[in-house]
Amino acid sequence: MHSVTLQAPAKVNYRLDVVGRRPDGYHDLRMIMQQVNLCDEITISRSVTPGIRVSCGAAHVPDGEENIAWKAARALLELSGADTGIEVHITKRIPVAAGLGGGSSDCATVLQGLNDLLELGLSRERLMEIGVRLGADVPFFLFGTTARAEGIGELLTPLAAIPSLWVVLVNPNVPVSTAWVYRNLQLTRKEPLAKLPDSFDDVAALCAVLSNDLESVTIPAFPVIGEIKELLRSLGAAAAMMSGSGPTVFGLFVEEAAARAAADAIGHQQPGWFAVAVETL
């Protein structure tokens, strides 16, 4: 096998609690993370020309060593000791720097693809150990199922019983820096965190736990995020919330037709925005 093409899915955060700051500069988090079928497409090939080459062509996505996919390829190529070149081409469909985990998913997919392409036989747990050094969300995409994530995101517990839903993703194309969000977050929680269920019987049970501490920073600075939440609810979403550090907002729908109608309506109202209906995985 000399080449493999894989799908790298996006994610949304049904829950994002910031527990506290760590001495290493990261934050301890508690999250519920869900993959959706909006995917980047990644082709990984072996090459007779030495070195690692990453190409994408999308705006604000670096080619070469600054791309997290390049770092993933280097990690596994060095581990393998193989005398081969690696070429990675990324077709971007997930908005960049949008709170949807696109870069982390690309990284995880390259780790999985090269594990197969180079016949390394590394376990999922070993890939997750490598991945967390590259990005805090990378282990989740290697984990492969809906999960409660703790620590910086690397401590994962599967959540098997969770309803399948349609999700409308709306990104207003305003840049929001994750580093800026966390730098400006005020940790004011005094009460202990409420215990989260291990399963959710229906969409109402899931909606009851939706929360994102980072909205306290982003919505005052970018009121459009709050406006999108209200817009999605007015179009029939059972609930709406910002994903990750934003600016993408997601709305939850039970019916496909309602989700597609909402995405179409927003696309017509705001043609400069990214709006799409997707399914949970």
The catalytic site residues sit at 11, 137
The span from the CA of 135 to the CA of 154, in Å, is: 10
Amino acid code (one letter) for 118: L
Residue 159 backbone dihedrals phi, psi, to 5 degrees? -115, 95
Residue 107 backbone dihedrals phi, psi, to 5 degrees? -60, -50
Nearest to 215 by CA among 224, 204, 206: 224
Q: What is the CA radius of gyration of the chain?
A: 19
The span from the CA of 39 to the CA of 43, in Å, is: 13
Neighbours of 52 (CB within 10 A): 19
Angle (nearest 5°) at CA 97 between 235 and 278: 40
Residues 6+ away with beta carbon under 8 Å from 139? 108, 128, 131, 132, 153, 154, 156
Helices then strands, each counted (H, E), the chain: 9, 11
